[in-house]
Structure 1
């Protein structure tokens, strides 16, 4: 790939950025992928924890699974399935009413779409895509500034530490906060991308989001009185859903592991009191206890877990879609694409479609790159 002229930077290794990077690489475009995290995945990440007695515990603490309705996405997912990167999760799912403490039977449950999970973790898909031939992935490397060099018609990327990371003929970014005041509220630094660089970027200004807390739990025994491996909650101010991690394909079943997700309203209340900065151990402990108590109060004879840890997704879900027709934000003049679930729909399928759209925009310019 050393002699390849085309060179694109993809910022963000969530499912949208990973799909885009791999698609570009398969079409002969050299890609350098940057992410501030230790590894790929974004909300498709898998969390590794060690219990007090030394047991390894793995949790998909972001997206628990995804469904597919779009034929283009189905084609991609079918290929992943053939490579052993995804599998169908066939466990039963039910809705639980926290007011009556009873399960609610809904007619549409039997007709629900297939639920897919990454194997052996949700991040397995992004891991594979980030290591496709032609993709040079660099982790623990956050972007502090996207600088447009007008005379050279190139992008210069600067790291959060001020380090120059290279020149690129095209850039793809998959972070909804890349040009948002929220970036400053969280990091204390100005947003990496200047909205004035292209008129199309105005859509990125302060995209509204829904936050969420996730609670990772591990039990010594199966929750035998819970007749489903996936739950959605109604009439709860604290919990929105729960999933049994250890029931997924390819997972260890040495302990029963669950992930609970909070309601948006609960997360907003907590953040309103604690602020946007990284939550303290005390805040996360309080959140964990409150979410666990709501789970225990269902009357399903749930035992005390031997492991419990909460995590905050401060920008979990976009509250709006900013590019439904285009599927990504695109500046042809600057060869800059912005992709992610916030462009199309707030789910994994929307993120995949947006990543494919961003790659298509740059693929169309391959002769000029």
Structure 2
């Protein structure tokens, strides 16, 4: 297709990378998605676990749902398309808040201006569908170790974390913060794959992306927690828990058990990280965290039975606290055909990530590049 960039690598299969991938492929641009995890989704991934007696339990342990501003027609159009394809549905349940001080719920079922959407049958279903469209090659379980701009200034050379050559690409979309953020060093012991030192302004913006850590607690119960009058709520006046959602109440989920996901406060997560660092947590530490979060859940005074499955997961820096490119919606280095996108660019939510992915794709569709 004339006037369109050819052969683009998208690093990260979260919603921003997946949306960008889909738009590029539909515009005639060959795309390869690289994802270090075993499957797509990022913070919208779905966790598959097994109880001690072998039962499979699934959890959306990251973003529980998303909303779209009614005035955001571009994103709303995409979501409507996903809804017609059956990979998205509205989550029609009662929501509210719980005050630890009064031990009471309030604000139940207050009118919301925006619908709550979920992926079906899991939050990762959206990214999974977008990353498997015609014209897309997906490579999972592969971490990018380095990206180097070729000496002749015409392409990017990608290598895996263990130094193996992956190939050359006319353009790169980095939707995974670990690709350019120094936080990557804390996880792998190596510097981030993209060196932004030659672009001081951008490097400073990326270095200072504020992000909240969080622990997610996954719980599965034999019987419904009938003392809870809502399927999702925020905690007020708790130093440990921030929100809770009944995962099994979402459209398209198994109801063989009642499954809840609880998120910790950022302050609690920061306290644990201060004690343990960013290295992989031991099973003992995660078990301790799971017990502390569950104990706080029981401290509500609600009738909370013992779950047959209980496990904690750490999100180290997945929840951005601010945006760094609200107007542009993505970061763009035209001379090197590099786009950086994600919720940290537009807004710290799924809608912001989608907007950023759309913006990144538009940069390449407008760039006249030939092989």
> Do the structures match in fold with TM over 0.5?
yes
Q: How does 1:48-67 map to 2 (within 5 A)?
A: 48-67=48-67
Other-structure match for 1:96: 98
Please tell me whether the aligned partners of residues 5 and 364 of structure 2 are also in contact (alpha carbons under 8 angstroms): no
Q: SS state of the match for residue 110, structure 2?
A: helix
Residue-by-residue CA offset, 1:278-297 (whole Å, 9 max, x unaligned): 11111111110010011111
Q: SS state of the match for residue 147, structure 1?
A: strand
Other-structure match for 2:359: 357
Residue-by-residue CA offset, 1:315-351 (whole Å, 9 max, x unaligned): 1211221111100000011000000000010100000
Please tell me whether the aligned partners of residues 218 and 257 of structure 1 are also in contact (alpha carbons under 8 angstroms): yes
Residue-by-residue CA offset, 1:6-27 (whole Å, 9 max, x unaligned): 1000000000000001100000
The structural deviation recorded for 1:206 is 4.1
TM-score normalised according to structure 2 size: 0.96
TM-score normalised according to structure 1 size: 0.96
The structural deviation recorded for 1:112 is 3.9
Other-structure match for 1:170: 171
**Unaligned regions of 5+ residues in structure 1, if any?**
none
Q: SS state of the match for residue 110, structure 1?
A: coil
Please tell me whether the aligned partners of residues 21 and 129 of structure 1 are also in contact (alpha carbons under 8 angstroms): yes
Please tell me whether the aligned partners of residues 29 and 366 of structure 1 are also in contact (alpha carbons under 8 angstroms): no
Q: SS state of the match for residue 343, structure 1?
A: helix
| Cα 1:81/1:357, change in 2 over 3 Å | same
Residue-by-residue CA offset, 1:218-261 (whole Å, 9 max, x unaligned): 00000011000001100000000000011000000000000000
2:260 aligned to 258, 261, 279, which one? 258
Other-structure match for 1:326: 328
2:339 aligned to 337, 350, 354, which one? 337
Distance 2:256 2:284 in 1: 30
Other-structure match for 1:150: 151
Please tell me whether the aligned partners of residues 177 and 206 of structure 1 are also in contact (alpha carbons under 8 angstroms): no
Distance 1:304 1:64 in 2: 23
Other-structure match for 1:135: 136
The structural deviation recorded for 1:178 is 2.1
Other-structure match for 1:32: 32
Distance 2:136 2:59 in 1: 27
The structural deviation recorded for 1:198 is 4.0
Q: SS state of the match for residue 125, structure 1?
A: helix
Q: Give the aligned CA root-mean-square deviation in angstroms.
A: 1.6
Distance 1:83 1:11 in 2: 25
Distance 2:321 2:94 in 1: 28
Residue-by-residue CA offset, 1:51-85 (whole Å, 9 max, x unaligned): 11111100000010000012111000000000000
Q: How does 1:118-133 map to 2 (within 5 A)?
A: 118-133=119-134
| Cα 1:344/1:279, change in 2 over 3 Å | same
Other-structure match for 1:235: 237
The structural deviation recorded for 1:5 is 7.9
Please tell me whether the aligned partners of residues 198 and 331 of structure 1 are also in contact (alpha carbons under 8 angstroms): no
Distance 2:135 2:198 in 1: 28
The structural deviation recorded for 1:194 is 0.5
Other-structure match for 1:225: 227
The structural deviation recorded for 1:197 is 4.4
The structural deviation recorded for 1:109 is 2.4
Other-structure match for 1:46: 46
Please tell me whether the aligned partners of residues 182 and 206 of structure 1 are also in contact (alpha carbons under 8 angstroms): no
Q: SS state of the match for residue 49, structure 1?
A: strand
